[in-house]
Amino acid sequence: MQDPYEFCRCGSGKKNRWCCAPLEVEIDKAWRQASMGQHEGALRTLDSLAAANKDNPEVYGRKAELLFALGRPQDASAILEKAFALRGDYPFGNYLKAATLHDNREMVGSLILARKSLESYHPAAVGPLCRVLKLIFNGEMALNRPIAGRVALKMILKLDPTLAEAKEDIESHFGVSSLFTEAAKQDYSLLPPPPTRDRQMAWNKAAKTHGASRLGGMAKMFEDLTASDPTDIPACYNSVLTLAMIGNNAKALEALDRYFELEKDESRLIAAIGLAIVLKAGFGLTNQSDFLERIFLVKVNDPNLLMGFLRKMADSSQFIPVPRQSEEAALNGFLLKPLSSLVVGGDSTPRYGNLQGVLVARPQFLEMRCHTAASSAYFATEARQNLGLALNEGDVLINTILTDPFKELALVSLDKNPDVDAAKIKQTEFVKHYFSTQWIDMPLKILGDKSPKQALATPMSRIRLLGLLKYIDGSSSHILDLGFNSEVIKTLIGMQGSLDGSTESSGGLPGESSLTSLDQAFREARHHDRDEEAYSLGQRILEHSSQEIADLSHVFQFLARQMVSAGTLEEANQLLSRGVQYDRQNNSGSKTADLELARAQVISKQGLADEAAAVVAETARSHPKDLSIVARATEMLLGMKRAKETLEIGEAGLKEAKHQQNRDAEEHLAELLVAANRLG
C-alpha cells in the first residue's frame, strides 16, 4: 500500500490519505486473490469497487494494472479508456501504457506516454515520479540517448537523494568505469542569459509563460527565445540541450546548426562538435553518424551446421571462441580477418588478425556484430552459405555506438606463443598507416562529408576536425593506449592547431605545444627502452607549469620506478604523492588509484608495512566498483601477509563482482580469498 502522506499516485495532486487511500483495502484484496489463482474473483472485487466509485479514474487504472499482470493487454487497454474518459491526462494510466510498450521493446511510443505521465504528476509526488523517470531512463538509454538518460537519473536523485539504484546507474553509465566517450558521459549545463537587461527580462517572461520548472516547458521556452531573437547565443545553445534532455535529438541537431552559425568562440565550437556526435548517435539517426556497428541476426534450423560453420571459421583463424562458463551458456568469441601481410610490414604468413567484430551463437540462433559494412556483408554471406540459408535470409540492423570509435584497428596475434613486444610494434605501425594513408581521405559526416584532408582547407571544417579529434581523445579507444592521441594524429595528417582553437609552435612537431612534444618524445624513448633519455624528458615535463596534458600518471610512475632502482625511496614516495595531487586536480582522479598503489609499494620497500597496507586498503575502499583496482589491492595485501585486510577487501570485491556478473573477476578474487584464509 502507498504511504498515506505521499501524494497519491492517481495524479490528483492530493495526499493519498485524502484521496485514494479508502480504495486500497479492496485493491489489496483483489491482488491477494489473483496471487492465489482466483483471477475472476479478483476482477469481480475491482468491478464492485468501480461500481461504488464511478467518477474516480484510479479504480479503472488499478483494474487495468491487474489485467496487464494477468496477460490480458487488450482488456486492460479497454478499461483504461474509461479512466481517460474521466481524466484525459490520467498519469498512472499513461505510465501503465508506457510500461507495457517498454516491455514489448516499443521504446519510442513508451517514451512519449511516459513523458506525458511525467508532466501530469504533481511535482512533489516522489514515488510515482521516480517510477516514471526510471522508465524514461531505461528507454532513453536503449535508444542511445545518454543526455536524456542522465537527466532522468538526476531528476530521480533530486526527488530522493537516498536511492542507491539511481546512484549506481549514474556511476556505471557515466562514471569513470563507463565505456562511453567523455562527450557522452558529460553532465552538460545550461548557459545563463545574456547580460543585457532586455534579454534577461525576455528570459524571465518566457519562463513564466512556459513553466520552466518542467523539461517540456524549458525546451519550449528556449525555442521561443531563439525565435524572438536569433542572435541570442545562450538561448540557442540551451535550446539544443533542452531538446536533447527530452530525447528529441533530431530537433536538437537542427538547433545546433543554428548555434554553429552564431558562436564565434572557437573553443566552444570545438566542444560542441562532441555534443553533435553524441546527438547523431541517437535512435533513428544512423544516416548521420560515422560510428556504427552492423548486427546480423538469423535463426538457425540445424545446430550441427552451425557448429560445423564455427569450426571452419576457427580453423581458418576467422573466429576465436571465448571459454564458456557452462555448457548451457551461449558460445561467443571474436571475428577476425587474417592478414597474410601488412602494407607496413613484410609478413608472408597470417601471423595477425584484424578484429572485425564479435559472434554469439546459440543452438537455434546466430548473432554477429561487425565494425564495418564490408565485414558484416562478408560474414553474413559466409553464414548463409554454410548454414544452408536463403540469399537474403536473416536481419541486418545498424546501431550507432558511443564507445571505442576505432575497434576495427585492433590486431590479434595468431601465434600460439606471441612475441608481445613485436605484436605491439606491429599494432602501432598498423594504426599509424591507417591514419596517415586511409583515414585522412575518408569522407566523414561530422565533417560535412569531407575527408580530414579536405577539412584542413577551410576554417570551419578545421574546427570540426579539431572537435572530432577532441572527441577521440575522450574515448576509451585502445589506440590511445598506443599513444595515438589527437596531437599524434594531427602530426600524421599534417595538421596544425590545438584543441582549444589556437595555433602554437615550439620548435617541435607541427601543431604541437612544447609540453605535448616532450610527452611524445618521452613515450618514444620509453618505447625503445632509452631509459636515461626518458628520465630526462620526464623531469622536463614535470617542470612545466602548464597543465595542458591532464594525464601524466605514466610520467610520475616511470620516474618513481627509476628513483626506486637508484635507492632514493623517500624521493619516489614524494613524487608519487605529487602525482596523486596532480591527477586529482587535472584528470578527475582517473589514475589516482594506480598512483596510490605504486606509492604503497614504495612505502613497503621503506619498511613501513602498516602504512603501506593502510594506503592499499583505503585505495580499494575508495574504488569499490573498479574490480581491477580491488583485485590488485587484494593481491598486494596478500603479498604483505595482511590476512584481515585481504579478507575485508577481497570479500567486498567478490560481492561487487557477482553484482556486476564479472565471472573472471569473481574467480580471481575467490582464489585470492582461499589463499587469504589459509594465511589467516
- pLDDT band per the 50, 70, 90 thresholds, residue 324: confident
Specify the DSSP element, H or E, that contains 10: none
Q: Is the pLDDT of residue 623 over 70?
A: yes
Q: Are residues 60 and 87 in the same domain?
A: yes
Domain termination residue (choose one: 400, 416, 435): 400
Q: What is the pLDDT of residues 471-481, one digit of tens each?
A: 999 998 999 99
| pLDDT for res 248 | 96
Confidence of residue 560 (pLDDT cuts 50, 70, 90): very high
pLDDT band at residue 464 using 50, 70 and 90 as cut-offs? very high
Q: Of all helices (H) and strands (E), which one includes residue 389? A: none
The pLDDT, as a whole number, for residue 536 is 85
Question: pLDDT (tens digit, 9 = 90+) per residue, 160-181?
Answer: 998 889 999 999 999 988 999 9
Average pLDDT, the chain: 88
Residue 211 lies inside a defined structural domain of this protein: yes
For residue 656, being part of any structural domain is answered with no
Tell whether 168 and 302 lie within a shared domain. Answer: no
- Judgement on whether residues 274 and 297 belong to the same structural domain of the protein: no
In a domain, 518, yes or no: no
Overall domain count for the chain: 3
pLDDT class of 547 with cuts at 50, 70, 90:
low
In a domain, 615, yes or no: no
pLDDT confidence bin for 680, thresholds 50/70/90: low
Q: Please, which pLDDT band fits residue 196 given cuts at 50, 70 and 90?
A: confident
Is residue 241 over pLDDT 90?
yes
Using pLDDT thresholds of 50, 70 and 90, give the confidence band for residue 608: very high
The answer to whether residues 40 and 151 belong to one domain is yes
Within this chain, do residues 51 and 168 fall inside the same structural domain, yes or no?
yes
Q: How far are the Cα atoms of 523, 531, 544, 568 from residue 537, in angstroms, in the given order?
A: 9, 10, 11, 19
What is the domain-level CATH number for residue 217? Answer: 1.25.40.10
Q: Which of 283-292, 432-441, 518-527 has the lowest mean pLDDT?
A: 518-527
Residue 422 falls within a domain, yes or no? no
pLDDT in tens, 644-665: 999 999 999 999 989 888 877 8
Query: Would residue 50 count as lying in a domain?
Result: yes
pLDDT of residue 510: 31
Tens-place pLDDT, residues 403-440: 999 999 999 988 888 888 888 999 999 999 999 999 99
236 and 317 together in one domain: no
Q: Percentage of the chain with pLDDT > 90?
A: 59
> Which of 177, 211, 235 finishes a domain?
177
CA distances from 570 to 49, 282, 553, 639 (A): 78, 52, 18, 22
Better-scored residue on pLDDT, 241 or 122: 241
Residue 633 vs residues 385, 592, 623, 653: alpha-carbon distances, Å: 50, 13, 10, 10
Q: What is the pTM of this model?
A: 0.70
How many angstroms separate the CA atoms of 662 and 670, rounded? Answer: 12
> What was the pLDDT predicted at 341?
55
C-alpha distances in Å from residue 354, one per residue of 284, 382, 402, 428, 472: 29, 17, 21, 13, 20
* Per-residue confidence band for 509, with pLDDT thresholds at 50, 70 and 90: very low
Mean pLDDT, residues 629-641 taken together? 91
Q: What is the pLDDT of residue 514?
A: 56
**Percent of the chain, pLDDT > 70?**
93
**The C-alpha cell that represents 247 in the structure block:** 530525447
Q: Which domain holds residue 211?
A: 197-288
For residues 84 and 55, membership in a common domain is answered with yes
Total length of the chain: 680
Q: 382 and 327, same structural domain?
A: yes
Are 132 and 165 contained in the same domain?
yes
Closest among 434, 470, 460, 438 to 451, alpha carbons compared: 438
Assess whether pLDDT exceeds 80 at residue 273: yes
User: Sorting pLDDT into bands at 50, 70 and 90, what band is 2?
Assistant: low
Is residue 339 situated within a structural domain? Answer: yes
pLDDT at 236 over 60: yes
The residue to which cell 536538437 is assigned: 252
Last residue in a domain, options 254, 288, 322: 288
Which domain CATH number covers 324?
Answer: 3.30.160
Residues 336 and 375 in one domain: yes
* Three-state helix/strand/coil letters over 164-213: HHHHHHHHHHHCCCCCCCHHHHCCCCCCCCCCCHHHHHHHHHHHHHHCCC
Statement to judge: residues 332 and 396 lie in one domain: yes
**pLDDT tens digits for range 572-593:** 999 999 999 988 888 888 899 9
Same domain for 232 and 371?
no
Question: pLDDT tens across 91-100, in order?
Answer: 999 999 999 9
Residue 515 confidence (pLDDT): 66
587: in domain: no
Q: Which residue has the higher pLDDT, 17 or 377?
A: 377
